């Protein structure tokens, strides 16, 4: 049998005469051909007409052969890949090794902020079969067996929430979601559970029934809860009492009521010996939440203010929690000035972080280990109206620092009603590294105090070949945020402010502790200041100097056109 190469050479040689064929030189003139030339041309035409279908047939045959060979080549490559897959070393891995590899695919918990708290994004959504361990089980039978039987950790970190993504929701609703959750819980094989359960009832009976049954399933496994976040409608919240005494493994709980809460006490965590983190939000202002404090490390309560009668309860919680490091009371509502009776002092030796604004609470504490303080009340939940701290908040904070003999490293003031006590407070914080001042409704009343603060922050003294700032010499981060600013003039943001920042950034190596971050944000309408384009340019020029980062964001200035051209905007995590 002829080889393909010989056949192709023979085929090509059959038509080589076409390469040597030439017409008489008549195409370059308009002369008619002679009789002899006409006869030769007609003979050539007959030969051409006879050769065309013959050559076309050869081409068609070759094209079919190429198409067939290409299909065979594709099939051959597919067979080769299948053989390589079968011979892959991973198929020889013992189940224990494959199990460790698959465990590395576990979805890590993601933290993000909604300005009030840090939220965990837990694992995979049990209702979305295209993600997480569901998807790993589709690879092959050995992976499926390993995932289903040997990797309970992959299944025990989950989110139970109806997906809101268009298309995904419709696919999910066609599935038996209760059966999916039952299967996931079975595959956890007794492992401790970290999960996020969220359901805000929208009055859809089908969704309500499904999520009710799913929540009952999670309640039935409460003995395995470890880290849990629950965003519940009031009807679901009312069922929490069934897990009383059944949460021995619980370490972290975030509990939020997403609707109008009922005046109903919650005792689900009264016996929780391992409880370390408790975060409450949206609870009814009169509801009593019982919880174990033996190992409590962090406590946050965002319930609306119901009166100073709550203070003794909070003081008892602090006093009974020997390991407490962080305590926050964000009531998101106005508190009147403290009035008698006052309560005996509670001394807590380990509490490091405090976020509150109740003067009555502050007056009743002695916290020698306190290093981080946030004086704030929060915002109203729906219209985001700023809630100012009570008038005695700064005074009580000053007295707390004096009484505790502590030195703050982080101080945040939000709608704190700046007065002369601010200067005294900052003077008590020589180790302060992070200072944040925020007003969500600036009226200009604090402008003189802020001007004095800028002046004092500009003062320096020389010692041992270095120069030290008299006030907060260790300051690394400064944040000033003013919103809802309307038709006011800022006196404290002036040339001296620029000089103070430049001095604290300092290119001089003798600067003992240079400033690293400045965030300046002003939002409102028709406000102005004493900075000009040259001052802004000087501030912008400092960005990047000795690791200094400058973020400026403003809107509504009376001379926006002039200032915008000289302003840079960047983002930071401050």
CA distances in angstroms from 520 to 174, 454, 556, 570, listed in the order given: 51, 14, 14, 11
How many angstroms separate the CA atoms of 153 and 187, rounded? 9
To the question of pTM greater than 0.75 for the whole model, the response is yes
DSSP E strands: which ranges in 324-397? 326-329, 346-347, 353-356, 365-366, 372-375
Angle between helices 177-187 and 205-220 (to 10 degrees): 20
Q: What is the pLDDT of residue 107?
A: 61
Rounded to the nearest 10°, the torsion over CA 537, 539, 544, 549 is: -130
Q: What is the pLDDT of residue 565?
A: 36
What are the pLDDT tens digits along the chain (574 aa)? 456 777 777 877 787 777 777 766 777 777 788 888 888 888 888 888 888 888 898 889 889 988 998 999 999 999 998 888 777 776 677 777 777 777 777 765 544 333 344 445 568 899 888 888 888 887 777 888 888 888 899 899 999 998 876 555 556 566 788 999 999 999 999 999 999 999 877 666 778 888 999 999 999 999 999 999 999 999 899 999 999 999 999 999 999 998 788 888 899 999 999 999 999 988 888 888 999 999 999 999 988 777 667 888 999 999 999 999 999 988 767 777 777 767 889 999 999 999 999 888 999 999 999 999 999 987 644 456 778 888 889 999 999 999 999 999 999 999 998 889 999 999 999 999 999 999 988 888 889 999 999 999 999 888 777 778 899 999 999 999 998 888 888 889 999 999 999 989 975 655 667 899 999 999 888 888 888 889 989 998 988 887 899 998 888 666 654 444 344 444 344 4
Rounded to the nearest 10°, the torsion over CA 412, 417, 419, 423 is: 0
Q: What is the pLDDT of residue 545?
A: 80
**Which residues have a Cβ under 8 Å from the Cβ of 306 and sit 6 or more positions away?**
285, 286
Q: What is the pLDDT of residue 204?
A: 66
Pairing type for strands 477-486 and 466-469 reads unpaired
Rounded to the nearest 10°, the torsion over CA 342, 348, 353, 356 is: -10
Q: What is the pLDDT of residue 423?
A: 95
**Which residues have a Cβ under 8 Å from the Cβ of 270 and sit 6 or more positions away?**
244, 245, 290, 291, 292
How many angstroms separate the CA atoms of 403 and 398, rounded? 9
Angle between helices 495-505 and 533-542 (to 10 degrees): 10
Exposed / middle / buried, residue 233 (Cβ in 10 Å: 0-12, 13-18, 19+): buried
Query: DSSP H helical segments within 16-157, as ranges?
Result: 17-20, 35-86, 95-103, 132-136, 141-150, 152-155
3-state class of 282 per DSSP? Answer: coil
Stated length of the chain: 574
User: Residue for token digits 């050539």?
Assistant: 44
Is the peptide bond prior to 159 cis by the omega test (within 30 degrees of 0)? no
Q: What is the pLDDT of residue 570?
A: 40
CA distances in angstroms from 93 to 80, 100, 548, listed in the order given: 21, 11, 52
Question: What are the φ and ψ backbone dihedral angles of 570, each rounded to 5 degrees?
Answer: -145, 175
Pairing type for strands 289-291 and 266-269 reads parallel
Helix and strand numbers (H, E) in the chain are 19, 24
Question: What are the φ and ψ backbone dihedral angles of 236, each rounded to 5 degrees?
Answer: -70, -40
C-alpha count within 13 angstroms, C-beta hemisphere, residue 272: 28
Task: With beta carbons less than 8 A apart as the criterion, state whether 139 and 145 touch.
Answer: no
Task: With beta carbons less than 8 A apart as the criterion, state whether 291 and 270 touch.
Answer: yes
3-state class of 174 per DSSP? Answer: coil
User: Residue for token digits 């300092």?
Assistant: 506
Residue 84, number of CB atoms within 10 A of its CB: 9
Evaluated on CA atoms 541, 544, 549, 552, the torsion sign reads: positive
Q: What is the pLDDT of residue 370?
A: 98
How many angstroms separate the CA atoms of 110 and 98, rounded? 25
Question: What are the φ and ψ backbone dihedral angles of 480, each rounded to 5 degrees?
Answer: -125, 120
């Amino acid at each position: 049998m002829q080889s393909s190469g010989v056949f192709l050479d023979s085929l090509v040689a059959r038509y080589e005469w076409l390469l040597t064929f030439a017409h008489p030189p008549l195409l370059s003139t308009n002369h008619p051909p002679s009789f002899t030339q006409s006869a030769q041309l007609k003979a050539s035409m007959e030969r051409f007409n006879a050769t065309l279908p013959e050559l076309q047939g050869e081409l068609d045959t070759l094209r079919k052969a190429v198409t067939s060979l290409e299909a065979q080549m594709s099939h051959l490559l597919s067979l080769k890949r299948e053989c390589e897959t079968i011979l892959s070393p991973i198929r020889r891995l013992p189940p224990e090794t494959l199990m460790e590899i698959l465990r590395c695919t576990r979805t890590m918990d993601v933290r993000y902020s909604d300005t009030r708290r840090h939220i965990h994004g837990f694992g995979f959504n049990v209702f979305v079969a295209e993600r997480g361990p569901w998807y790993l089980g589709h690879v092959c039978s050995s992976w499926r067996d390993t995932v289903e039987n040997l990797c309970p950790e992959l299944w025990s970190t989950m989110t139970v929430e109806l997906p809101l993504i268009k298309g995904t929701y419709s696919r999910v609703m066609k599935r038996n979601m209760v059966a999916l959750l039952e299967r996931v819980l079975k595959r956890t094989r007794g492992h401790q559970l970290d999960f996020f359960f969220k359901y805000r009832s929208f009055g859809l009976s089908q969704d309500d029934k499904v999520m009710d049954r799913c929540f009952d399933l999670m309640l039935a496994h409460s003995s395995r809860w470890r880290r849990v976040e629950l965003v519940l409608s009031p009807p679901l919240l009312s069922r929490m009492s069934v897990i009383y005494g059944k949460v021995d493994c619980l370490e972290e709980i975030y509990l939020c009521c997403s609707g109008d809460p009922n005046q109903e006490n919650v005792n689900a965590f009264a016996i929780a010996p391992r409880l370390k983190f408790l975060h409450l939000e949206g609870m009814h202002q009169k509801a009593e939440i019982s919880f174990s404090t033996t190992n409590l490390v962090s406590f946050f309560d965002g319930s609306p203010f119901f009166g100073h009668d709550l203070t003794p309860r909070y003081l008892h919680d602090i006093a009974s929690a020997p390991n407490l490091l962080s305590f926050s009371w964000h009531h998101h509502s106005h508190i009147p000035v403290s009035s008698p009776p006052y309560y005996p002092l509670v001394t807590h030796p380990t509490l490091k972080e405090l976020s509150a604004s109740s003067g009555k609470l502050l007056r009743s504490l002695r916290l020698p280990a306190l290093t981080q303080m946030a004086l704030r009340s929060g915002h109203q939940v729906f219209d985001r109206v700023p809630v100012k701290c009570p008038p005695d908040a700064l005074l009580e904070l000053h007295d707390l620092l004096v009484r505790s003999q502590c030195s703050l490293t982080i101080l945040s003031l939000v709608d704190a009603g700046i007065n002369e006590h601010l200067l005294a407070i900052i003077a008590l914080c020589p180790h302060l590294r992070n200072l944040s001042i925020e007003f969500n409704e600036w009226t200009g009343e604090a402008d003189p105090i802020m001007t004095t603060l800028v002046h004092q922050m500009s003062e320096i003294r020389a010692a041992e070949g270095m120069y030290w700032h008299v006030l907060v010499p260790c300051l690394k981060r400064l944040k000033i945020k003013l919103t809802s600013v309307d038709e006011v003039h800022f006196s404290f943001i002036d040339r001296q402010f620029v000089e103070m920042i430049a001095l604290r950034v300092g290119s001089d190596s003798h600067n003992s502790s240079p400033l690293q971050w400045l965030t300046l944000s002003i939002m409102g309408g028709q406000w102005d200041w004493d900075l000009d384009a040259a001052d802004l340019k000087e501030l912008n020029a400092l960005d990047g100097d000795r690791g200094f980062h400058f973020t400026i964001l403003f809107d509504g200035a009376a001379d926006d056109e002039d200032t915008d051209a000289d302003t840079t905007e960047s983002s930071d995590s401050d």
